[in-house]
Amino acid sequence: MSSGSYIKRPNRPLQFYAILFLIVLYVPVLFLPLFSFNDSIYVRFPLTGFTFQWYIELLDRDQVWASLMNSIKVGVTTSIIATSFGVLAAKAITRYRIPGRGPVVGFIMLPLVVPGIIFGVALLVLISRLGIPLSLYTVTVGHIIVCLPFAIATMIPRFEGFNKSVEEASADLGENAWWTFWRVTFPMMFPGILASLLLTFTVSFDEFIMAFFLSGTDATLPMYIWGQLRFPQAFPSILALASVILLVSFILVFLGQWINRGAQSDSIESNTKT
């Protein structure tokens, strides 16, 4: 690209549109924290006063703590399993020429596209036919399926970003596949793995549809919120809870994307070059 080309010229209306777009994208979500500090049971303008009351109220609710622990348990298990399966799958997809690669990748990525309700009811039907009681375990299985495409999509650019010949050098120098993985692949993949852990944890932590169909008596945090939406008097404290969840999710996702940023820009560059 030659410098000083017309493409480089800033386009004011477009810049204005982009800023507006980001505002519209974020503002609705930001109303949740705004009203969570408002000293009124009603969610409406004008704001009446500043309070921490709703947050303090949250701390006293045992159910909030219980569902938080459930969500963490499910999220940690899901992220570890989805990421470890995802590393292997991403390696297979990027490193080897496999027959039927297109359909296989398409199949793995299905949960990203197919409406969640269909996966939810299909799994529910299987689980109930097998006579397995609904529990946090069944939610975890659902979440692993939802999270695997995210894990794989996060790690594929990492694998594309580093040179295959380093692994081959290790193999040529006499390391077996196991040690090559631990001493060469894993350290180079580490940012991708960390990003995948953070992102899949967040997806699981926030996931609602699978939890809706597959959870038993133990609720995850989003399920708890869903249950509370029926009670108007619970509204402000739900706003507070939602704000906390949003904040945690934003931080985790931002960290994940930040850790993995090198890989994505590398692969974008290598894609544009070829």
Partner 1 sequence: MSVEPAIAASSSLAPLPKTGRFSMMLQRYEALRAYTLLSPTLLIMALGILIPFGILIVMSFWTQAGFGFDLTPTIANYEQAADRPIYGALLKRSLWMSSAATIATVLLCYPMAYFVAFHVHRNKMMWIVLMTLPFWTSYLLRVFAWKVVLGYEGVINSALMSLGLVNAPLEVLLYSQTAVIITLAHAWAAFAILPMYVSLEKIDKSLLEAATDLGDGPVMRFLRITLPLSLPGVIAATLLIFIPTTGDYITPALLGGPDGMMIGNLIQKQFGAINNWPMGATLAIILMLLIATISLGFMFVTNFVRRRIS
Interaction residues for partner 1, span 229-248 (CB under 8 A): 229, 238-239, 242, 245-246
Residues within window 45-104 making contact with partner 1, judged by CB under 8 A: 45-46, 84-86, 88-89, 91-93, 95-99, 104
Q: Does residue 147 bind partner 1 (CB under 8 A)? A: no
Residues within window 10-49 making contact with partner 1, judged by CB under 8 A: 10-11, 14-15, 17-18, 21-22, 24-26, 28-29, 31-32, 35, 42-46
Q: What is the CA radius of gyration of the chain?
A: 23
- What is the distance between the alpha carbons of residues 93 and 87, in angstroms, rounded to a whole number? 10
Can you tell me which of 182, 186, 190, 250 binds partner 1, judged by CB under 8 A?
250
Find the helix packing angle between 101-113 and 62-95, rounded to 10°: 160
- Residue 52: CB atoms within 10 A of its CB come to 11
Whether 236 contacts 247, CB under 8 Å:
no
Identify which of residues 31 and 190 has a Cβ nearer to partner 1 in the complex.
31
Identify which of residues 30 and 56 has a Cβ nearer to partner 1 in the complex.
30
- What is the distance between the alpha carbons of residues 64 and 242, in angstroms, rounded to a whole number? 12
Question: What does DSSP assign to residue 208?
Answer: -
Can you tell me which of 23, 41, 56, 121 binds partner 1, judged by CB under 8 A?
121
- What is the distance between the alpha carbons of residues 107 and 101, in angstroms, rounded to a whole number? 10
Residues in binding contact with partner 1, number by CB under 8 A: 105
- What is the distance between the alpha carbons of residues 95 and 50, in angstroms, rounded to a whole number? 56
- What is the distance between the alpha carbons of residues 254 and 245, in angstroms, rounded to a whole number? 14
Shortest Cβ distance from residue 65 to partner 1 (Å)?
19
User: Which residues face 50 on adjacent strands?
Assistant: 38
Shortest Cβ distance from residue 56 to partner 1 (Å)?
21
Shortest Cβ distance from residue 150 to partner 1 (Å)?
9
Segment interacting with partner 1, rule: CB under 8 A, options 57-65, 72-80, 184-192, 253-261: 253-261
Q: Does residue 166 bind partner 1 (CB under 8 A)? A: no
Can you tell me which of 106, 132, 168, 182 binds partner 1, judged by CB under 8 A?
168
Identify which of residues 53 and 257 has a Cβ nearer to partner 1 in the complex.
257
Classify each residue of 55-69 as buried b or exposed e, where b means 16 or more C-beta atoms within 10 Å of its C-beta. Answer: beebeeeeebeebbe
Residue 48 main-chain phi, psi, to 5 deg: -100, -30
Can you tell me which of 23, 63, 65, 107 binds partner 1, judged by CB under 8 A?
107
Can you tell me which of 202, 215, 237, 259 binds partner 1, judged by CB under 8 A?
202
Shortest Cβ distance from residue 254 to partner 1 (Å)?
6
Shortest Cβ distance from residue 169 to partner 1 (Å)?
9
Q: Please report the sign of the dihedral spanned by the C-alpha atoms of residue 96, residue 196, residue 27, residue 211.
A: positive
Identify which of residues 217 and 274 has a Cβ nearer to partner 1 in the complex.
274
- What is the distance between the alpha carbons of residues 149 and 151, in angstroms, rounded to a whole number? 5
Shortest Cβ distance from residue 60 to partner 1 (Å)?
22
Whether 41 contacts 236, CB under 8 Å:
yes
